[in-house]
Amino acid sequence: MRRPDIILFLLSLVIIWIVVVSYLAATGPSTTLQSGQQNAKKIDIGLLPLPEAGQFRSIAFEEAVEQLPSFLLENRGVSSNITIHYMRANNLDYDGKASKWLLGIRYDNESALMYYDASGWQSVPWKGELPEREIIVGSFIPPGELIRKNTGIIAGSNPTQKDLIKRMELGNGIYTVTVYQQDKQQTLVFDAGSGALIPSYA
Which is nearest to 113 in space by CA: 178, 177, 49?
49
CB 79 within 8 A of CB 132: no
pLDDT given for residue 77 in this prediction? 79
pLDDT given for residue 177 in this prediction? 94
Give residue limits of the domains in the chain: 61-191
Tens digit of pLDDT at every position of the chain (202 positions): 555 566 656 556 556 555 444 443 433 333 322 333 333 333 344 454 455 555 567 899 999 988 888 888 887 777 678 899 999 998 898 889 998 999 999 887 788 899 998 888 888 767 788 998 999 988 999 999 999 999 888 877 555 555 578 899 999 999 999 987 767 788 999 999 999 999 865 4
Phi-psi region at 46: left, alpha or beta (left = phi > 0; alpha = psi -120 to 50): left
* Residues 65, 184: Cα–Cα separation, whole Å: 32
Residue 14: count of CB within 10 angstroms of its CB: 9
Kindly calculate the radius of gyration of the chain based on its CA atoms and give it in whole angstroms. 29
Residue 141 carries which side chain, given as an amino acid letter?
I
Cβ-based neighbours of 9, under 8 Å, separated by 6 or more: 1
Q: For the whole model, what pTM was predicted?
A: 0.68
CA 178, 43, 137: angle at the middle one, nearest 5?
Answer: 65
Residue 145: count of CB within 10 angstroms of its CB: 13
Q: What are phi and psi for residue 193, nearest 5 degrees?
A: -80, -45
* Residues 81, 108: Cα–Cα separation, whole Å: 7
As a residue count, the chain comes to 202
